[in-house]
Amino acid sequence: MKVWVYLVVDLLVFLYSSHAEKVPLANFMNGKKWRERWSDSGSSSWDLSRLELGACDDTSSSQPNGWVRSDVINTGPATRIELTATFTARDCSSFSGGSYCRHDFDVYAHQSETQYWGLAPDPNNSPPGTYSKIGTLNATKLWTSFVNKTQNVQTFSLILENSKPYVYLALHYNGGCLAVQSILVEYFRCADMTLPSTLVQLRATVAPANNSINVSGACAPNSKQVSGAGDLYGYCQSDGEWSSGLFSGECQCDAGHQNTTTGGGGAECQACHVGTYKAIAGDLGCTGCPNNSAAMETGSTGCTCVSGFYRKSGESNNNTCTGPPTAPTSLDTNFLNDSVVTLSWSLPNNTGGRSDVYYRVECFTCNGNSIVCVKACGGTVTQHGTSARVSGLSAFTYYMFRVYARNGVSDEAERGGQEAEFAKLVIQTHDAVPGKPEITAVEKVGLTHVRVIWKLLKPNGIITSYELKYHVTGKSANEKAVTINATRATVDIDRDKGYQFRVRARTRLGYGPFSDPVGLQAGQTSSSSSSPLVIATSVLGAVPVLVILLVAANLSVIKRLGSGNFGHVDKAMAYGIPGFPGQVTVAVKTLKASADEKDKTDFLAELNLMKSLRPHPHVVRLIGCCTRQAGELSSTNIEFQVANHLAIILEYLPYGDLLGYLRRSRGHEDWYCSGDLRPPSRLVSKDMVKFAWMIADGMAFLAANKDYINLDLYNDELYANFDAA
């Protein structure tokens, strides 16, 4: 009889499923010589030099009894081990194997509390019970040809006794031709993993010999235990699998993390990728950012709105970021008269992605030429959807309307510095009968003449004429009437009688109401009503020159025309100037805030000189002045205040200085030119001669005044009016 045995040991870990681990304790396999780990005993003789453990006794006349035993196997923490053998057997019918030829052999194990320093007990000479039979390796696949040996694989389990971690194996041969290629010894262990369904993290645990055991766990990183779900534990089964239906407790991923299956069949709370977010802890996964928002970092709990888009206060991270709407479209009037206008408009082209669009209407009063519109109109706005009715307006007045489309994020957009868009419409209300004039002065001129001066704050249209009526006090039946086109009139009276005066204005629609009557008693030289204007006279020889003292509140600045060493010149609108119904465009010369006392003295000297001059067609006309405090000038586009309460009000010449006028007439742009209007046509030689004569005429007038000396004259000191004069 000849026996060949082979043994190799290597400790590796093999994963047999997504949850179970099989931990090898010993691996006896081809590649190493038999004698290194095994020894023989019994009546058989063994060939220890072969690489395969085999026995083939075909000549014995008695039952073979051959034993081979392993060295120690330390089972460590295992409670049960499994032995998997790979072996071959020759078909007894294919050769003369004798009457004891078999296709199987038995496997035994000896368990010990201690490790033997020498060989394990000899199973052939040991007391009964020293080795216990594990099972029989029975070949079901037999070979008949040496070139085609079919292998058999068979597995046995061995439940280990308590306190006996050292195991020795033995193989019992009873006949036949058998060979063992390998014997693998291993135990089951439940792998370290996180249960996907509960996110309970369980540590690696040695599988029990039978049934299952309770293993306490903890929440996976970046997760929290669900309140009221019970203690955290799972069950490790004897096959090394974690029970999928038997567990306790539950964890949920934190905000910014989601439950993600790992390669080993477990799970983890993985941070949300860039561009996704998760707002709260729970079972939900990360989701893509809503429209117009972005998450720039991993693990985001929300998405930030991109530039130009916002969330309304109270909206959550799940809401789409939206923008403010664009301006309404098709703004127009549906109805217009002297005091009421009805506006309508259409939806904006872009509502910002929202449905909560609403509108706001603003109304402003404009100056006479509708360029400056800054004062709230004071009308009553009644809005309904995409229309509005504005009432309480003044007749024959320019108004500007702004209609804003707004939605739930308009306030957030404005706080973020984004200006709201609006549609704009400028209209002029229809004319009406004039308002009630106010007589500002009644004064005697000589013994039998009276000059009456009035103003009209609400012309409500183009004034065609004024009607001044007057009568002797107490004799209204004999009232006289005078029709004039100016805001002043001189009438004849009896020198020793008192009179009552009243005046009304007229437009194309008829007369308006009379002013309150103003009386002049017998012997009285003047009378006036309360007025922001003060009328005074400056006498040059025997010719009176009227100078109007204006308060600053009667001026509304439009724009700055230029600046000098110590003063500014601005374009402005003046209100309530006698002889100029309604409002008139003027030029206002003022001192700078930094002007010193010498500048103020020079300014007053210039004013006094102009007050002393008679009006002349080729010298800029002095309209009025301001020499005492009475409020600030009204303005929106430049900072303006009357320094030291001094201002000179001059007639406004819209074509600007002559130098710029001449350059523009030749097609050249002149940045310095202060004029609003352009020359109507190219100039010819006749125009130049006319200009020269007008300049000479004006200079001759000034030279005749003994108080005026002109040291130089430049073409940028000459100005052109509406008729190029």
CATH number for position 106:
2.60.120.260
Return phi, psi of residue 600, to 5°: -65, -40
Whether the CB-CB separation of 683 and 604 falls below 8 Å is answered with no
Average pLDDT over residues 609-619: 82
pLDDT of 354: 93
Helix (H) or strand (E) run with residue 605 in it: helix 597-612
Output 615 or 127, whichever has higher pLDDT.
Answer: 127
Average pLDDT over residues 162-187: 91
Burial (0-12, 13-18, 19+ Cβ within 10 Å), 258? buried
Does 352 fall in a domain? yes
725 vs 717: CA distance, rounded Å: 14
Residue burial 684-722, b: 16+ Cβ < 10 Å; e: rest: eeeeeeebeebeeebeebbeeeeeeeeeeeeeeebbbee
Helix (H) or strand (E) run with residue 608 in it: helix 597-612
Query: Does 158 lie in the same domain as 53?
Result: yes
Does 247 fall in a domain? yes
Which 3 state secondary structure label does DSSP give 255? coil
| pLDDT confidence tier of residue 683, bands split at 50, 70 and 90 | confident
Whether the CB-CB separation of 139 and 151 falls below 8 Å is answered with no
For the ranges 44-48, 87-91, 158-162, 563-567, the lowest mean pLDDT is seen at 44-48
Does 114 fall in a domain? yes
pLDDT of 151: 93
What is the domain-level CATH number for residue 199?
A: 2.60.40.1770
Taking 80 as the threshold, does the pLDDT of residue 341 lie above it? yes
Taking 70 as the threshold, does the pLDDT of residue 568 lie above it? yes
Q: If we measure between CA atoms, which residue out of 407, 443, 408, 401 comes closest to residue 422?
A: 401
Average pLDDT over residues 122-145: 92
pLDDT of 667: 72
pLDDT of 19: 62
| pLDDT confidence tier of residue 634, bands split at 50, 70 and 90 | very low
Query: Does 180 lie in the same domain as 80?
Result: yes
Query: Does 198 lie in the same domain as 185?
Result: no
What is the domain-level CATH number for residue 466?
A: 2.60.40.10
Average pLDDT over residues 98-112: 90
pLDDT of 639: 35
Query: Does 477 lie in the same domain as 568?
Result: no
Q: Which of 158, 189, 220 is at the close of a domain? A: 189
Query: Does 376 lie in the same domain as 449?
Result: no
Average pLDDT over residues 49-60: 76
For the ranges 180-189, 528-537, 680-689, the lowest mean pLDDT is seen at 528-537
Burial (0-12, 13-18, 19+ Cβ within 10 Å), 335? exposed
pLDDT of 167: 96
Does 344 fall in a domain? yes
Q: If we measure between CA atoms, which residue out of 362, 389, 396, 388 comes closest to residue 377?
A: 362
Burial (0-12, 13-18, 19+ Cβ within 10 Å), 408? buried
| pLDDT confidence tier of residue 124, bands split at 50, 70 and 90 | confident
466 vs 437: CA distance, rounded Å: 10
Q: Taking the CB of residue 441, how many other CB atoms lie within 10 A of it?
A: 20
Output 717 or 634, whichever has higher pLDDT.
Answer: 717
Which 3 state secondary structure label does DSSP give 701? helix
pLDDT tens by residue, 453-466: 999 988 888 899 99
Query: Does 253 lie in the same domain as 179?
Result: no
- Number of folded domains in the chain? 5
Q: What residue numbers bound the domain in which 513 lies?
A: 437-520
Q: Taking the CB of residue 656, how many other CB atoms lie within 10 A of it?
A: 22
pLDDT of 527: 57
Query: Does 263 lie in the same domain as 209?
Result: yes
Does 668 fall in a domain? yes
pLDDT of 719: 59
Does 299 fall in a domain? no
pLDDT of 545: 40
For the ranges 188-197, 378-387, 484-493, 652-661, the lowest mean pLDDT is seen at 652-661
318 vs 302: CA distance, rounded Å: 8
For the ranges 119-128, 270-279, 426-435, 669-678, the lowest mean pLDDT is seen at 669-678
Does 398 fall in a domain? yes
pLDDT of 11: 28
Return phi, psi of residue 141, to 5°: -115, 115
Through-space distance between the first and last CA atoms of the chain, rounded to whole angstroms: 146
pLDDT tens by residue, 424-443: 999 999 999 999 999 999 98
pLDDT tens by residue, 386-422: 999 999 999 988 999 999 999 999 999 999 899 999 9
| Tokens 């052999």, located at residue | 105
Q: Which of 251, 271, 291 is at the close of a domain? A: 271
| pLDDT confidence tier of residue 195, bands split at 50, 70 and 90 | confident
The CA-based dihedral angle spanning residues 30, 32, 35, 41, taken in that order and rounded to the nearest 10 degrees: -10
Percentage of the chain beyond pLDDT 90 is 44
pLDDT tens by residue, 86-103: 999 999 888 876 778 889
CA pseudo-torsion sign 135, 141, 144, 146: negative
288 vs 645: CA distance, rounded Å: 66
pLDDT tens by residue, 222-261: 999 999 888 999 999 999 998 877 888 899 999 999 999 8
Does 317 fall in a domain? no
pLDDT of 703: 80
Q: Taking the CB of residue 409, how many other CB atoms lie within 10 A of it?
A: 26
Query: Does 209 lie in the same domain as 112?
Result: no
Taking 60 as the threshold, does the pLDDT of residue 550 lie above it? no
DSSP label of 303: -
What is the domain-level CATH number for residue 583?
A: 3.30.200.20
Output 448 or 310, whichever has higher pLDDT.
Answer: 310
Lookup: tokens for 96: 């003369």
Highest mean pLDDT among 301-305, 547-551, 635-639: 301-305
Output 86 or 146, whichever has higher pLDDT.
Answer: 86
Lookup: tokens for 516: 């309150």
Name 605's Cβ contacts closer than 8 Å, sequence gap at least 6: none
For the ranges 73-82, 166-175, 644-653, the lowest mean pLDDT is seen at 644-653
Query: Does 335 lie in the same domain as 265?
Result: no
332 vs 350: CA distance, rounded Å: 19
pLDDT of 16: 31
pLDDT of 543: 35
279 vs 257: CA distance, rounded Å: 9
Query: Does 342 lie in the same domain as 386?
Result: yes
Q: Taking the CB of residue 52, how many other CB atoms lie within 10 A of it?
A: 16
Q: If we measure between CA atoms, which residue out of 514, 360, 490 comes closest to residue 437?
A: 514
pLDDT of 294: 94
Query: Does 651 lie in the same domain as 564?
Result: yes
pLDDT of 707: 60
Q: Which of 401, 429, 457 is at the close of a domain? A: 429
| pLDDT confidence tier of residue 693, bands split at 50, 70 and 90 | confident
pLDDT of 73: 93
195 vs 204: CA distance, rounded Å: 12
Burial (0-12, 13-18, 19+ Cβ within 10 Å), 316? exposed
Output 530 or 559, whichever has higher pLDDT.
Answer: 559
Query: Does 452 lie in the same domain as 402?
Result: no
pLDDT tens by residue, 477-509: 989 999 998 888 889 898 888 999 999 999 999
Taking 60 as the threshold, does the pLDDT of residue 546 lie above it? no
pLDDT of 169: 94
CA pseudo-torsion sign 486, 490, 492, 498: positive
Average pLDDT, the chain: 82
